[in-house]
A = this chain, B = another copy of it.
Amino acid sequence: MVVWVPQDYLNDILLNINEFTAIKKYLSNIGASYASHISTNVGDDCAVYQSSCHQLISTDVAVEGVHFPKNLPAEFIARRAVASALSDIAAMGGSLEGFTLGLSISKTDHQWLAGLRKGLQYIARKYQVPLIGGDVVKGPTQLSVTAIGSSKKSPILRSGAKQNDIVCISGKLGGSFLGYKAYLENNCHSAASKRYLSPEARIQYGKCCSDYVNSMIDISDGIFQDLSHLTNSSRVGARIDFKAIPFLSNDYAKEIIKFGDDYELLFTVSPKKIHQLEMHLANHRMKLFRIGVIDGKKTIIDNLPSKITTKGWDHFA
């Protein structure tokens, strides 16, 4: 009999023995002070929590060498992976309840795990959200984060855009690409690299929008890719003025669009409600950028530079 067990499986069992130590040491009590609604936490078969609202659940996977470079410190791997998952709750206008972490690591490296814990604690404090469970296994480095949120009102879907809605975004694009570029140049956490190493999930912004907007999505795959998801779901087109899209650097507009990863929110709002929304955002020291209108069935980008193509995005004219 060929025995695959004693090789891979027993290694896994050895790691399993460590798994429980690793969970206790590095993954327990992350955001415990924000876990009053969670009755059982890391360490049982499931996390348990109670809520009478709409429940929101989203899973995001981050792979070493694909979503983050191999040498990225674990603290920033954690910050990036979790923020990316929390951003999906923001895109529904929801509040955060907790998150779980499926962690695959090739070996038990305590320094690495301590960095990961630091990143998770940063997230827990920043968003006041607890880590409520997960799994640690042996394998190529990957983080799978499931974000759990809630919404007292109906959540904002991608599919709600209406003709004549104004298309807006929550902030300037390019922080992640330019931050990544700065990180490659300086290899450290700085003001310039911050938005790549520690992207922000716009939870507060999404909640502010939830009473006003008709549709919303987060810009994780690049503005045109995500716009196409929104317009396709809503069965509408849009007329976008490229010049109205706020880039942190127009020189890198093409790269910024391809890179995505900015986690700003893209949303549509009725012309009747946009002033109210702008005032509501201003009260929270936030603003919006108008980039076009929902119009017809096909999407047209005016003033598109010749070096940028919309080929590859569905339903673009």
Q: State the A residues within 8 Å of B (CB).
A: 1-5, 8-13, 16-17, 20, 39-40, 43-67, 69, 88-89, 91-92, 94, 98, 100-104, 132-135, 137-140, 142, 144, 146-149, 151, 155, 157-159, 177, 180-181, 184-185, 216-218, 221-222, 225, 229, 233, 255, 258-260, 312
Contacts and interface: CB of A to CB of B under 8 A. Distances in A.
Chain A's interface: helix, strand, loop or mixed, by majority? mixed
B134 A59 contact: yes
Given A1-B181, A50-B54, A60-B102, 6 more contacts: A44-B158, A46-B94, A48-B54, A50-B55, A59-B100, A104-B142
Contacts of A184: 1-4
Contacts of A62: 137
Contact of A144 (B1, B47, B59, B260): B59
5 contacts: A13-B221, A57-B132, A61-B103, A63-B104, A102-B102
Contacts of A88: 45-46
B43 A233 contact: yes
